[in-house]
Structure 1
Amino acid sequence: MAEDRRPNQLIQESSPYLLQHAYNPVDWYPWGEQALQKAQQEDKPIIVSIGYASCHWCHVMEHESFENPKIAEVMNEHFVCIKVDREERPDVDAIYMDALQAMGVQGGWPLNVFLNPEAKPFYGGTYFPPKQWKELLTNIAQVYKKNRKELDESAEQFVEHLNLSELAKYGLKDLNYHVREDDFKLIGHNLSKRFDKKRGGLGQAPKFPMPSNYLFLLRYHHHTNDQTILNHINLTLREMAYGGIYDQIGGGFARYAVDEEWLVPHFEKMLYDNGQLVSLYAEAYQATRETLYHDVVYETIGFVERELMSGEGGFCSSLDADSEGEEGKFYTFTKDELHELLGDEEPIFSEYYNATAAGNFEHGQNILHRRTTLEAFARENELELDVLEEMAQSWKDKLMQVRAKRIRPGLDDKILTSWNALMLKGLTDAFYVFGNERFLDLALQNANFILTHLKEGEKLYHSYKEGRATIDGFLEDYALLIRALVRLYEVSFNEKWLIEAKRLIDYTLENFFDEAESMFFFTDRNAEKLIARKKELLDNVIPASNSVMAQNLHFLGIYFDDERYTTLSDKMLAKVKDLMLKEPSHLSNWATLYFHKLTPTAEVAIVGPEAAEMRAELAAFYLPNMILLGGTTGEGSDIPLLEDKVAIRGKTTIYVCYNKTCQLPVHTAAEALKQLRGGQAEPKFPSL
């Protein structure tokens, strides 16, 4: 009936997640003053329901409960109902997720929290089946009327907890700054205790990629030459790339695997994962020359460009797990479908990708995955490698054509600054390692898009959709964009990117920094005031914004010879050091900063007409504790480190320096590498 399709207040929003709920019979409001005032005026408790567009269980709860008119009637009568897209409002999500965990409930999405009219939480949970949800609504409505005082007292206690400083919560205190070899090795030892030695990754199911752990471990191996660590890195990266978590046909990674073997993913594909995994696999290729990692980088960038890139040069947030109401339907095939598509080649295909008649997923479907290389498979099956390679490409082409005709998973087309910055960093890392100009073109297009559409004056916005930037930028937006712009400078030697990074870091120092604790708040001091103002310390699927800022301060302190930046970076690292030693899997990006401070960061300036070519030669080697700067000339530069650096007699010159003290200038990458490696024999340059 027509009246059942009347939109609620979400119809005016741009978030795809909120728009998914715009025709629910629940009288949803977006987070904001209107809903909060309504709760106070009507003296009603608030339901805040938080999720995101590609969240499978969010869809399930919507279908079961929020589309149910009888349940909606209870919600509308007794509550003011607010829907929040956690990707748009990570500040709101962080507060109420923290509250939920303080209630002793394991966090997740959908996140459903009950608040009093002052937006203070008193109860919450994640997914509720419809019967349980309806009973809970009725009970809370009754308790709110009869025992309001007790609920308010409980809410006050939770708010006290929420306003407890993160440093106090984890018992962090000011320590004297020092970095030690023994402590560095302890970080690696404690992290290795959680290794899954059979299938890679950390711990048991579910398994998340957690790129920052492996970016640290690559550096750890570089410093210690610990072969056990390198073996675990290779095991993990190989098993992820072979598993169902990786799209074997179209490239790109799903958010996580529900099992220990990386086989069955939740099929949503997030921009933030793929951006970081491009960086990780590019760096791992640089360190190991493993062909698989090269292929993963190229295929993942291909997926992102094909399926997540907007016409303006921004990258959309995610692809849904579901299509046609079924999780993974877009990506999976039955044995019969494969036989129809591939004919006589189907048995070989099915053996390589482990497809069976019974299937390894729901309804006889197969999640394609591998257990071996194409070369090994060719040997085992007595096939010519070049013939098998042609067949494999033909298989992919055919399956991609079939997928192109299927109903696609929903696209969350909002463009987030922080997640775009992660992809921008991935593209710059890929260009640095592989030299593919297309990667640099995409990076430059994206950087220009961000600075044109998501920046106004010195201030960033968090989200962009349909020509409009909204929501004041969070610390993650500034931190991740600064890091990406520094890297873009390193691979282009265009100083405007580095100058832009410095402007942004100075803005954060003025508007996000807490002098009392030498850490940054997650929100701008001019942003909307919530019931708590949080700081993000622990690295998760995205590194903590404070750990990224501490790295930014370290590197920009070197570039601009700014002791204030460097000292602050030292202070921040000292504060978290004890916790980092005990819980490195939650502070691995901090541990990466520890690596950069353990020995002096090399300052490598390349000046002259062949600066780009020299940089490409250096990129053939894994040199993770190094900053790059330069250009065709060092004259007129705004970077203090480039002062007095010139192309001697017009010939491209490389300066290798530590702590502003330079070794003799040289004219070849081989000579520079010898200096970087402490005078070891000149290296042989591998070919890509």
Structure 2
Amino acid sequence: MNRLSKETSPYLLQHANNPVDWFAWGDEALQKAKTENKPILVSIGYSACHWCHVMERESFEHQNVADVMNEHFVCIKVDREERPDVDAVYMDALQAMGTRGGWPLNVFLLPDSKPFYGVTYLPPQNWVQLLKSVNNAFVNHYDELANSAEGFVENMVQPEANKYGLTSSESGYTIDALDQMYEKLSLNFDIKKGGMDRAPKFPMPSIYKFLLRYFDITQNPAALAQVELSLNRIALGGIYDHVVGGWARYSVDDEWFIPHFEKMLYDNAQLLGIFAEAYSLTQNSLYSDRVTKTISWLSNEMQSPDGGFYSALDADSEGIEGRFYIWKKAELQSLLGDDFEWFSKLYNISAQGNWEDGYNHLHLTNYVSETAKAAGIYSDSFDQKYKNALQKLAEARVHRIRPGLDDKILASWNGLLIKGLTTSYQALGDESIRDMAVNGGRFILEKMTENGKLWHSYKNGKTSITAFLEDYAAVIEAYLGLYQITFDPLWLTEAVRLSDYTISNFYDSSDGYFFFTDSEGEALIARKKELFDNVIPASNSMMAQNLYVLGKILDRQDYLDLSDQMLSKMNKILLADVQWVTNWAALYCQKTSPTAEIAIVGEDADELRKDFDRFFVPNKVVVGTKTSSQLPLLENRTKVNGKTAIYVCYDKTCQLPVTSVKDALEQLG
């Protein structure tokens, strides 16, 4: 076993038996490169990455390949989820080289850690040839490599505000600008299959978040129609696990049919919130069903005994991608017995299979009941029969070899999940969901917080790695969500503590954005800022949203000004190509019209809040107390005639208090 056997990351441990003399990222490896004047190979991936496993099997497990790597390079393995800072720096370098980013990411560095070349996956013969060519260039053309590396570093250290021309806008926030963003975004809609018009298809929660808020403001029916089309196909297609719930990372085709079978915590965390919001708006039972089943899957399979949530399930098992989730016709016949005939018609099961090697994957394009009616198999007892059939498949899957579990617990992804749970609780009102969210918050507070600071990763009872901006942003958002479903001031206190620490240790006053890394953390060759929303929103857009919500709840003008400064500088990009900044656009929606400040005072505050939260009112903050509170929005607020009162306010100006949710909603218009 190599030295990775001493690590805790599941991805690094997967490489502990490689004949490659791997180092983890750290001073030992970097100093060795300088001492021996060797180039560095940094190979970055993650435990659920299919092509990372393929490259390991084809190259890193073979002695002849390892011999070349060990002779000429200092080889470093990095878990991108454990060290997103290292990944961000060298992914930026790869893209500056003109190569499309992805994982596995293999970057070659000079002994001083400056990058000069990079690739993603390569088959073994090409990989060995590249290793020899890079070594030859290092030995015989060092000056050229050094000049090239300097150019890449200059690009990497250029401030993002300068690189993207970010300047403050004085135009304010208008519906006309929102319409312009929507029209630009809609040019790339897939109006037949949902999502964006490309393959592979990724669920993009921040796009749907923006569209829901845009619809709330404009009532544009096309915006809601695109959300519903997308969510229906994501809920019914093969990207969703029909047996026990949860979503795979993406669909390799444009039909949402065959997924890349890995299940990531961050996808499921965000989709919970989106489906819950969509349910609040539409009352579509498909959405509530997907939320309920996915929470059940998370609780049963992804929650640690300590209370935190694991990071991912692998795509592969038994050496086959998706093997845990796919079925042979004969196997289904044996399991389902008399129910097989109608089940096979529902899912088009065949001996040839609808995927590879005679395997069938469960996939629908329309509601279950509508598909059953069209197939002539619907009856009064169909819903129960369908539920029973899926239960049989779930029980059968228990005996299969499970996909690998990435059991590290990340503060950032757990924060995203807690926020998804708080939104789900607001929509569904199930107290077990609130308990799950609160327990998740307490886990982070008790296990991953030390002296008012967060740790990034937790495993086997130990924390590691100084937290990144993504951790603070996601956890602050989670705490704000927890406060608004519990009215427990603890969560506000902690959100403020973390926000103030973030401003002190991450904020760059020169351009008004936050660095990704803590000023007290490890210094890399570049200190990056994350501005663009992807499958996970940019940590800066999340912080801008957090500061806005905190500013509204606490009447903190400094927070509100900082949020406004961050958003206003994004105006040019918002209008030019909004699809890469849709979480920023969702915040823009909130600033286009006044944010409702809902204050609830009295013994029944929690019950009224619960009733109020069932409705889709995205542009609001909610505060409450059973007795009294020093919060600005609750000062001098009292019950009305002995009854719990609801105050609907805008910009600290309140309408007359009411004692029913119906009346409060009427005041909201």
TM-score, reference length from structure 2: 0.99
User: Of 622, 627, 643, which aligns to 1:651?
Assistant: 643
User: Of 170, 180, 187, which aligns to 1:176?
Assistant: 170
The alignment status of 1:68 with 2:62, answered yes or no, reads yes
2:454 alignment partner, SS class: strand
What's the offset of the Cα at 1:344?
2.6
1:288-303 residue pairs with structure 2 within 5 A?
288-303=282-297
| 1:607 corresponds to | 601
Percent of residue pairs bearing the same amino acid type: 54
The alignment status of 1:666 with 2:658, answered yes or no, reads yes
1:122 alignment partner, SS class: strand
| 2:257 corresponds to | 263
What's the offset of the Cα at 1:611?
1.0
1:175-214 residue pairs with structure 2 within 5 A?
175-176=169-170, 178-214=172-208
1:202 alignment partner, SS class: coil
| 1:286 corresponds to | 280
CA distance in 2 between partners of 1:627 and 1:334 (Å): 51
CA distance in 1 between partners of 2:436 and 2:614 (Å): 22
| Structure 2: tracts of 5 or more residues without a match | none
CA distance in 1 between partners of 2:112 and 2:166 (Å): 31
- Residues 381/122 of structure 1: CA separation in 2 closer, same or farther (3 Å cut): closer
Q: C-alpha deviations, 1:117-143, integer Å up to 9, x for none?
A: 111000001001000000000111111
What's the offset of the Cα at 1:167?
1.4
User: Of 592, 596, 599, which aligns to 1:598?
Assistant: 592
Query: What one-letter code is carried by the residue in structure 1 that aligns with 2:403?
Result: P
| 2:100 corresponds to | 106
- Residues 177/476 of structure 1: CA separation in 2 closer, same or farther (3 Å cut): farther
Q: C-alpha deviations, 1:552-574, integer Å up to 9, x for none?
A: 11111111111111111111011
Q: C-alpha deviations, 1:371-416, integer Å up to 9, x for none?
A: 3223324433555644111211111111111110000000000000
User: Of 515, 522, 532, which aligns to 2:526?
Assistant: 532
CA distance in 1 between partners of 2:513 and 2:229 (Å): 36
Q: C-alpha deviations, 1:574-629, integer Å up to 9, x for none?
A: 11111011111110000001000001100000111111121122123211101101
Asked whether the 8 Å contact 2:407–2:459 carries over to 1, the reply is yes
User: Of 37, 40, 43, which aligns to 2:37?
Assistant: 43
Could you tell which deviates more after superposition, 165-174 or 148-157?
Answer: 165-174
CA distance in 1 between partners of 2:371 and 2:100 (Å): 43
Query: What one-letter code is carried by the residue in structure 2 that aligns with 1:132?
Result: N
Q: C-alpha deviations, 1:193-241, integer Å up to 9, x for none?
A: 1100110001210110010100110111111111111111111000111
Query: What one-letter code is carried by the residue in structure 2 that aligns with 1:401?
Result: E
| 1:3 corresponds to | none
Asked whether the 8 Å contact 1:177–1:571 carries over to 2, the reply is no
The alignment status of 1:244 with 2:238, answered yes or no, reads yes
How many pairs align? Answer: 669
Asked whether the 8 Å contact 2:310–2:406 carries over to 1, the reply is yes
Asked whether the 8 Å contact 2:173–2:588 carries over to 1, the reply is yes
1:330 alignment partner, SS class: helix
| 1:167 corresponds to | 161
1:203 alignment partner, SS class: coil
| 1:23 corresponds to | 17
The alignment status of 1:541 with 2:547, answered yes or no, reads no
Asked whether the 8 Å contact 1:354–1:370 carries over to 2, the reply is no
Could you tell which deviates more after superposition, 622-631 or 335-344?
Answer: 335-344
User: Of 120, 126, 133, which aligns to 1:132?
Assistant: 126
| 1:681 corresponds to | none
CA distance in 1 between partners of 2:454 and 2:365 (Å): 45
Asked whether the 8 Å contact 2:103–2:120 carries over to 1, the reply is yes
Asked whether the 8 Å contact 2:50–2:315 carries over to 1, the reply is yes
CA distance in 2 between partners of 1:560 and 1:619 (Å): 21
1:469 alignment partner, SS class: strand
1:401-480 residue pairs with structure 2 within 5 A?
401-480=395-474
Q: C-alpha deviations, 1:393-448, integer Å up to 9, x for none?
A: 11111111111000000000000000000110111111111110110111111110
Asked whether the 8 Å contact 2:49–2:314 carries over to 1, the reply is yes
1:87 alignment partner, SS class: coil
| 2:623 corresponds to | 629
Asked whether the 8 Å contact 2:200–2:250 carries over to 1, the reply is yes
| 1:565 corresponds to | 559
User: Of 75, 80, 96, which aligns to 2:74?
Assistant: 80
CA distance in 1 between partners of 2:424 and 2:236 (Å): 20
What's the offset of the Cα at 1:649?
3.5
The alignment status of 1:514 with 2:508, answered yes or no, reads yes
CA distance in 1 between partners of 2:441 and 2:603 (Å): 25
1:311-390 residue pairs with structure 2 within 5 A?
311-381=305-375, 385-390=379-384
| 2:477 corresponds to | 483
CA distance in 1 between partners of 2:5 and 2:473 (Å): 32
Asked whether the 8 Å contact 1:375–1:385 carries over to 2, the reply is no
Query: What one-letter code is carried by the residue in structure 2 that aligns with 1:397?
Result: Q
Tell me how large the CA RMSD over aligned residues is.
1.0
Structure 1 stretches of 4+ with a deviation exceeding 3 A read: 377-386
User: Of 228, 235, 239, which aligns to 1:234?
Assistant: 228
Asked whether the 8 Å contact 1:177–1:570 carries over to 2, the reply is no
Query: What one-letter code is carried by the residue in structure 1 that aligns with 2:550?
Result: L
Asked whether the 8 Å contact 1:46–1:114 carries over to 2, the reply is yes
1:362 alignment partner, SS class: coil
CA distance in 2 between partners of 1:132 and 1:374 (Å): 47
CA distance in 2 between partners of 1:571 and 1:151 (Å): 40
| Structure 1: tracts of 5 or more residues without a match | 1-6, 678-688
Asked whether the 8 Å contact 1:242–1:369 carries over to 2, the reply is yes
Asked whether the 8 Å contact 2:369–2:378 carries over to 1, the reply is no
TM-score, reference length from structure 1: 0.96
The alignment status of 1:640 with 2:632, answered yes or no, reads yes
CA distance in 1 between partners of 2:620 and 2:345 (Å): 45
CA distance in 2 between partners of 1:246 and 1:77 (Å): 45
1:123 alignment partner, SS class: strand
1:405 alignment partner, SS class: coil
Q: C-alpha deviations, 1:283-315, integer Å up to 9, x for none?
A: 000011111001000011111111110011100
1:589 alignment partner, SS class: helix
CA distance in 2 between partners of 1:273 and 1:212 (Å): 11
- Residues 50/638 of structure 1: CA separation in 2 closer, same or farther (3 Å cut): farther
What's the offset of the Cα at 1:174?
2.6
| 1:686 corresponds to | none
- Residues 311/80 of structure 1: CA separation in 2 closer, same or farther (3 Å cut): same
